[in-house]
Amino acid sequence: MDSNTSSEVRGGGNASSQRLQTLLHHFRSSSSSTTTTNQFNSKPTNKRAAVLVCVFQSPEDGDLRVILTQRASSLSTHSGEVALPGGKREEGDADDVQTALREAKEEIGLDPSLVSVITLLEPFTTKYDVTVIPVVGILTDKDAFSPVLNPAEVEAMFDAPLDMFLKNDNRRAEERDWKGEKHLVHYFDYEVENKKYVIWALTAAILIRAATVVLQRPPAFLEQRPKIWGGITESDMIMLQTSTPTK
């Protein structure tokens, strides 16, 4: 685990649940699951970004949930859209982990010491050629987190079940063409406290991948990612084979 992340799960009551302990220990003991922070450092700083996939356990039902934000309507790009905390890497950032944690602190007031980073996912490159590194971390003591939203960047913060991004419920998809290659853009509709959100495009793709890795099971639908994000997955191949009628 990176030295910039907290090294131990905070103990005490519900703050350190058995499920989170098991998850943390699984990733700590699996070197193949953890990507080194310097593996993707070939991109210039102004072409790199990192987002934090911050997972915690619901005290009500024990399910794993992920923190999401709605970007401020005043922003010049992607205004009002649902996103993960994160942003562009700055010159002073030591690595992608520090970028993700710094941005989460700036946007929603999340103290980096509360987050135990368990893995980095493979890069997602945007159509603007920005490499986005998803950093997956566990918030083991949800009660210690008192959100402070930066109104210049964030309009709202909410959380959603992580396994939602592996289910067909409230999901739709559109086929798109990018550089002559067809792929699917996924949309997840979610409502909380009488407010409706749509989680889609890059954010949805990252959450599908994060849920697959953390929950260790494939989505119940065809991903059909563009080649730049890994293309057809093993799960897709199985789904396509089983859906093809035999002669």
Kindly report, residue by residue over 46-75, the tens digit of the pLDDT.
799 999 999 999 988 889 999 999 999 888
User: Do 203 and 84 meet the contact criterion of CB atoms below 8 Å apart?
Assistant: yes
* Ranges under pLDDT 70 in the chain: 1-17, 30-45, 76, 244-247
Per-residue pLDDT at 227: 87
The angle subtended at Cα 179 by Cα 177 and Cα 184, nearest 5°, is 30
The angle subtended at Cα 188 by Cα 186 and Cα 191, nearest 5°, is 165
Per-residue pLDDT at 75: 81
Q: With 0.75 as the threshold, say if the pTM is over it.
A: yes
Per-residue pLDDT at 38: 46
The CA distance from 140 to 221, in Å, is 30
Half-sphere CA count of 155, side-chain side, radius 13 A: 14
pLDDT tens track for 187-220: 999 999 999 999 999 999 999 999 999 999 999 9
Size of the chain, expressed as the number of residues it contains = 247
- Nearest Cα to 37, choosing from 71, 4, 60, 65? 4
